[in-house]
Amino acid sequence: MKKFIFIFIILLILCLIFINYQKNKSYESTENKEMNETENVTSNTENILALDINIDGKDYVLNLENNQTTKELIKLLPLNITMQDFNQNEKFYNLPQSLPTDEYDVGKINKGDVMLYGANTLVIFYKDFDTSYQYTKIGVIENLDKDNFTNKNEVQVHIKVKE
């Protein structure tokens, strides 16, 4: 009887070890899959240099900075937003989540600059001016037509990965 109990305990321990091994193997497989998906998204965002941006029906190209802010912004795309006017020189939109920042004193804003103010306010500038504010640069819109913004309290903006 003692031999039977001893063998039973040994078999039970071996079963528990096997079950634990299978759980760890399954966990590692899931963890590796999630890491690979994250790496794919990250590597895909690193290859994107420009975005398509449509402002009230007019198409433009947004050339991106190579920074963490743009990489995280790309993960939010496509964006279909309504941007409000501010100071008669910019349109802004408060994103639903914060992005990483690397703010600096830009000194001069140029027409077409796209910046992040704070951690979640996306800004498109449609006039040149000097500023003492800090921004994180996202990119520049090529050949921005400021007339597309003038005298409008809001504009419809669609941003997507460049095709």
Tell me the pLDDT tens digit for each residue of 24-56: 665 555 555 555 444 444 446 667 899 999 999
Q: What is the mean pLDDT of residues 139-154?
A: 87
Cα separation, 8 vs 17, whole angstroms: 14
Going from N- to C-terminal start, the domains of the chain cover 1-47, 50-161
- The class of domain 50-161 in CATH terms is mainly beta
Task: Please report the pLDDT score of residue 99 as a whole number.
Answer: 98
Amino acid found at 40: N
Q: What is the pLDDT of residues 82-124, one digit of tens each?
A: 999 999 999 999 999 999 999 999 999 999 999 999 999 999 9
Q: In this predicted model, which residue has the larger pLDDT, 73 or 41?
A: 73
pLDDT of residue 149: 79
- Is the pLDDT reported for residue 157 higher than 50? yes
- Stretch (H or E) spanning 2: helix 2-46
DSSP secondary-structure letter at 96?
Answer: S
Q: Are 83 and 91 in contact (CB under 8 A)?
A: yes
**How much is the pTM?**
0.72
Residues 55-66, mean pLDDT to the nearest whole number: 95
